[in-house]
Amino acid sequence: MKNIYKKAVYLIALGLTLASCENYLDDAPKGSKVPVTLADYEAFLRDEYTNHRVDVTGAMHLLNDQFLGISTLANNRLFTANYMWDENADRIALKPSDETAYYSGYAGISTFNLIIENALTATKATETEQRVVWAEAKVLRAMNYFNLVNFYADTYTASTAATKLSVPLITSANINAPSKQVTIQELYNFILNDVNEALPYLPKVSQTALHPNLGAGYAFYSRVFLQMNNYTEALKYADLALAENNKLYDWVAYYNTNKAVIDVPNSYTTTASPMGFTYVENYTYRHGSANNSGGEFDIPVERAQRFEAGDARFTSRWKIRTVGAETYYRRTLTGFFNFGGITTVEVYLIKAECLARAGQIGDALNVLNTVRKTRILPASYQDIATTDKTIAVNAILRTKSNELINTLIPFADARRLNAEGIYKVSFTKTANGNTYTLSSDSHLWTMPFPQGAMNSPGNGTLTQNVAK
């Protein structure tokens, strides 16, 4: 764990040196600046590539949401274990000593801890301005902990959350800060408390796309309560979030504008991603596994088949391609992608699921169809209409997994649904004449901690949450 802080504490960003003010203000390294003013601390929130990276590579591989070719599978045994659902593989032994998902998560937490510790006493700011930066850091810290617990620990289940371990909880930026691997319930309580304390001070309008606003706070609260199977609270905060921002991007219009490029056979000329910093669906923007300007990920043929016919969002993003013995769907957007933040479409679909589970099927489908009308081409579009709860919930979950592909949420949802046991998620595929299955109760749904964290847990202890 100490390595996490070596990375985070000595990171120089925007001309500042991360350090605990208590220990280092009197001995600033020569040529560096110690943060003192609120502007100094707020600047850390803009360090997007360090503090807003949400890497979920292992989850994407397990779900087969990212295409891995023959050469990659031959050279990376950990990728192969997840992608081919190999339950005999020892992923703990294969886990590298330095893994982005873990270390970037805690590097961000160290930064947010620094802000939380010092923003309320920072100079050259009013108390109101101090509280805003403090609240934004609170939400971002909670988001990082949510990502980590839903990657490295079992999913939340009320009956076991108080006994099962989650991830190390660290609340100080000090390099020697103690860490404690708390229970899943303790960590969720901490996350909820962080957001609850932040909500009164979050601004309605963000300073930048990286700064969480009030809508982001409500949306994230809704996400957390859904993961806890608390549909009443999840619905309540979904409505509050949508009252702040209910815009949906018109992917049908995007396709129509760009179809002269998109529809050219065997051409992979790219078009610009609309899912960047100014995406109308953004509550807050964070990078995903591909954290800089460029393309997103190619996807397997089997994964492409789970999209609806006439999905303009899908058609605008991928096109089938064969190279040698491999056929896959090639990415056709370039630019920035909000794969680590929160968008309105997620909240619409949280609301739809909560309504369906409450038996309000018609209302749930109205919400679902509101989303689909901005995605499905008119020639293919039909309202989904049913009185059957199972059909309605499955339609909502299908749309959600497609909308949020390349994010943590389909993985987190699948774990939640499998633990609940009603709408279980499992997959089967055939490759090279062999059949592979990812069962709903597989241990592969929990990722192991990396070797580096296990070998150097810092000022605390760390126990693996999965056998292999």
* Domains of the chain, CATH where assigned: 38-249+340-446 (1.25.40.390)
Whole-model pTM: value is 0.93
86 — pLDDT class (breaks 50, 70, 90): very high
Query: Average pLDDT over the chain, rounded to whole?
Result: 92
Q: What is the pLDDT of residues 167-199, one digit of tens each?
A: 999 999 998 899 999 999 999 999 999 999 999
Per DSSP, helices labelled H in 123-183 are 127-152
| Amino acid (1-letter code) at residue 275 | M
Q: What is the pLDDT of residues 117-156, one digit of tens each?
A: 999 999 999 999 999 999 999 999 999 999 999 999 999 9
**Those residues with Cβ within 8 angstroms of residue 35's Cβ, 6 or more apart along the chain or in another chain:** 16, 21, 41, 43, 44, 114, 118, 122
CA pair distance 61, 78, nearest whole angstrom = 10
Q: What is the pLDDT of residues 267-306, one digit of tens each?
A: 999 999 999 999 999 999 999 987 666 778 999 999 999 9
Q: What is the pLDDT of residues 54-78, one digit of tens each?
A: 999 999 999 999 999 999 999 999 9
The two structure tokens encoding residue 50: 């360090």
| pLDDT score of 458 | 86
CA pair distance 422, 17, nearest whole angstrom = 50
9 pLDDT higher than 60: no
**Those residues with Cβ within 8 angstroms of residue 414's Cβ, 6 or more apart along the chain or in another chain:** 63, 401, 425, 445
- Please tell me whether residue 446 adopts helix, strand or coil conformation: coil
Which residue, 426, 455, 418, is CA-closest to 154? 418
CB 53 within 8 A of CB 33: no
Which residue, 353, 416, 414, is CA-closest to 389? 353
The two structure tokens encoding residue 39: 């502007």
| pLDDT score of 217 | 98
37 — pLDDT class (breaks 50, 70, 90): very high
**Those residues with Cβ within 8 angstroms of residue 288's Cβ, 6 or more apart along the chain or in another chain:** 54, 55, 56, 337, 338, 339, 340, 406, 407
266 pLDDT higher than 80: yes
432 — pLDDT class (breaks 50, 70, 90): confident
